[in-house]
Amino acid sequence: MSTSTKPSARYETWLAILIMTLVSALAYLPLVNQLGLYKEDWYLIWSGAMRTPQDFLSLYQADRPFAGYIYQLVYPLLGPTPLYWHLLSFLLRLAGVLAFFWLLRMLWPDQKFPTLAAATLFAVYPGYLQQHNAVNKTFWLTSLTFAILSISLTVYALHLKGNLARILVTVLAILLAIYYPLVIEFYIGFEAVRFTMIWYTLQQTERKPFWPGLGRAIKIYLPYLISSAIFLYWRVFVFQSTRPTTNIGRLFSEYTNLPVYMLARIVIETVQDFYETTLLAWFVPPYNLISRATYSELALDLFCGSLAMLLVLLYYRWLKQRELSGAGDSQSDNWSQPDSRSAIPPAIRAAIGLGTVTVLVTLLPMVIAGREVNFSPESRLDHYTIQSALGVGMLLVGLIAYALRPNLRLAVIAFLIGIAVMTQVQNGADNARNWQAQRSLWWQLTWRAPQIEKGTLLFVDLAGFGFGEGYEAWAPANFIYAPGSPVPVIAAEVLTDETGFLLQKGAVEQKNHRNIRYDLDYGAPLILSKPGEFSCLNVIDGQLYELSKSDDWPIRSIAPYSRIDRVIPEETFQQPPEIIFGPEPVHDWCYYYQKAMYARQRGDWEAVARLGDEVTTKGIKPIDRTEWVPFLEGYAMSGQEQQARQLAKLIKSEQAPRREICRQRMEIASPPQNYDRDKIVSILCGES
């Protein structure tokens, strides 16, 4: 690649690879052992653990039938341990980055620093914040890495002299080119990138006039065109997607029904997405994440970001020193050339041009398919940027080299890398907190509920980390309460206005999520709420419940429907699989609270009072004082009124929740058998 033969030039490639690996590691690895499973990860891991590898195929039959093969292959190796998936995800990302770096070095062998900068910007690109969704994004990253590798191989083949080697490499590139769009169809835009790269490489090596050069590029591109044509034929005419967003028939009918609107949409959306992907990605996601970081998280972000910047600067310094000693080709290294007011240097122009084309053509299929880039954390539609991020890397480095004076170029590149690393680290920190909250929720449920009735429909409100789909609750619940069952016996649904309505009606519906079929029995709901970071899980008993002041409208509206009888009391307590949920947390306040709630459900007031004594002895207290209520009831019902009144005083400081609890207690139509409502009400709600 590099024209230089000096020893330092040989080391340079390895050093560059080391720098990119280290910067990527700083971005993604600092909290990797604190990350877990998120969103789609859950049903994939559940499927892997409870069903056969063959079943992975059925999961993706509806939209991307070749994605399942990846899991069929990989799951037996990695199993359900989240850490392994995160490491795989990191390695896949790194492989893509290195493939891209190889491509860049083939295109501009003398541009040492700019190529490293572009690849590093791609590696830590802050417009894509889905690295934590490791299991699910395995097939996305596989497809992306294959696509980049395939293009790199194509360009490599052009540089090869021997026919056999060239044919072999081309065949490998074609094989990868066949596979990657079968996994993610809208990555097909990479085929236009491939053509552009072929054309550009030929221009560089053969320096033919435009038209003959184009003709030759088309000729070389033909075999790849055939594979793309086969893919498109299959996707458009053979494959029938049953998932609306990937169904070509539905899309086609939209275009034929509203052609002007859809065309206008393509133009506007492409412009908008281009702007968002190239520029706003460096503003909006960093702002969204870093502005809500805690101080300690911010310190970690800053540390990693600064270290990444330092690495890049040291690498530059190393390069510069070698240049001064004659290493590298300073004549063609535009990066360190003084400001030139004349024409734009060819390499810079090429980087800007190729970067722009890459971003546009990789965004376009996604936009045509009716999707769009969106940086709102809830939408997670930033995952439509990653395929364009390599174009962003080229474009930005080209623009910076073109626009800025030499001494500032380095500073801006380092700054962008620093900000991007900070963003990725903060994303990791956010997701570490999310995983912590999820683990806490499921561990507390196992402390609270020995077993849950089959057919129960869970509604889970995890404050701050809302679930987007039912599988985020039913998959972990089935891991714990129905290990070995190839169908979910405990269902779950997200609390929305519509499901809230169905709940009130007690409807029964069938659900088919990627060929996993189960019933949603809205007449058998069990509602779980963890309203704040410091609140315990509240497994709500619709007859006898306490809501926190942090509980939002949805929980308030449906709390009375929660059926505590779905918790089967007299069974052995389950243990969440440690391989997923980690070791059992220390027995803090929430442990005693859950055990007290369990004892209350059984009417074992003596046990509740004992637990109350234990927490008092240990000096453990709740943050949310309404969590004293079961203990108050336990003391009151076991004849220890004095202690009950002490707790009543504590609870009274939470006026609004207390009033609500009092009202709820007074309105119970049929109190539990051994529950002296009048006594409780007089202690909790009386004036003393």
Partner 1 sequence: MAPLRARVDMGDGAERYVRREWIYAIFVILCVTGLAYLPLIIQLGLYREDWYLIWNGEARTLQDFVSLYQVDRPFVGYIYKLVYPFLGSTPLNWHIQAFLLRLIGVLAFFSMIRMLWPDRRFATTAAAILFAVYPGYLQQYNAVNKTFWLTSLTLALLSLALTVFAVQSRKRYQAILATLFAILLSAIYPLIIEFYIGFEAVRFILIWFAWQKRDAKPTLASLKRALLWYLPYLVSPVIFLVWRLFLFESTRPTTNVDRLLAGYLTLPRHMLARLIVETPQDFYETIALAWGVPPYQVFSQLTNREFLAGLILGGVAVLLTLSYYRWLKNRDLILTGQDSPNWTREMMWIGAITASITLLPMILAGREVDFSAATREDHYTIQSAIGATLFLIGFFYAILKPKLRLAVMCALIGISVMTQFGQLALKRNDWVNQKNVWWQLAWRAPQLIDGTLLLVNMPPGSGMSEGYETWAPANLIYSQDAEIPRLTGEVLYPGIAVPLQAGSVEPKNHRNIRFKLDYGKALVLSKPSQYACLNVIDGSWYQLPDDEEFSIRYAAPYSRIGEVVTGQPFSTPPEAIFGPEPDHTWCYYYQKAMYARQIGDWVEIARLGDEARQRGFEPADQVEWRPFLEGYIQAGRAADAAAIALEIKKDRSATRVICQQLESSASLPQNTPRGELQALLCDS
Q: Which residues bind partner 1 (CB under 8 A)?
A: 264-265, 268, 272, 276, 279-280, 282-284, 286-287, 290-291, 295, 298, 339, 341, 374-376, 402-405, 408, 497-498, 500-501, 505, 549, 551-554, 556-557, 656-657, 659-660, 663
DSSP states along 450-466? SEE-TT-EEEEEETTS-
Residues in the chain: 688
Greatest C-alpha distance within the chain:
98
> Of 427, 326, 533, which is closest to residue 124 (Cα–Cα)?
427
Residue 634 contacts residue 643 (beta carbons within 8 Å): no
CB of 659 to partner 1, least distance (A): 5
Nearer to partner 1, 231 or 335 (CB): 335
- How near is the Cβ of 350 to partner 1 at its closest, in Å? 18
Q: At its nearest, how many Å lie between partner 1 and the CB of residue 399?
A: 8
Of 152, 154, 147, the closest CA to residue 176 belongs to 147
Least CB distance to partner 1 at residue 244 (A) = 19
Which residue number, 461 or 604, has a Cβ lying nearer to partner 1? Answer: 461
Q: Which C-beta is closer to partner 1: that of 339 or that of 570?
A: 339
CB of 628 to partner 1, least distance (A): 18
Considering the complex, state which of residue 146 and residue 459 has its C-beta at the smaller distance from partner 1.
Answer: 459
Q: Give the residue with the Cβ less far from partner 1, 365 or 657.
A: 657
CB of 472 to partner 1, least distance (A): 20
Please list, residue by residue across 109-145, b when 16 or more beta carbons sit within 10 angstroms of its beta carbon and e when fewer do. Answer: bbbbbbbbbbbbbbbbbbbbbbbbbbbbbbbbbbbbb
* Contact in structure between 461 and 488 (CB atoms under 8 Å): no
Compute the least distance from the CB of residue 415 to partner 1, in Å.
10
Token pair recorded at residue 507: 């409807």
DSSP category for residue 30 = T
CB of 509 to partner 1, least distance (A): 13
Considering the complex, state which of residue 469 and residue 552 has its C-beta at the smaller distance from partner 1.
552
Q: In this complex, which beta carbon is closest to partner 1, that of residue 40 or of residue 660?
A: 660
> Least distance from C-beta 177 to partner 1, angstroms?
34
Contact (CB, 8 A) for 121 and 397: yes
Helix (H, G, I), strand (E, B) or coil at 490: coil
Structure tokens at 117: 């900068």
Own/partner pairs, 672-675, CB within 8 angstroms, 24+ separation: 672/543, 672/544, 672/603, 673/603, 674/603, 674/605, 674/637, 675/544, 675/603, 675/633, 675/637
- Residues contacting 312, CB < 8 A, separation 6+: 19, 23, 116, 117, 120, 413, 414, 417
Which CB, 241 or 499, lies closer to partner 1?
499
Which residue, 1 or 404, has its beta carbon nearer to partner 1? 404
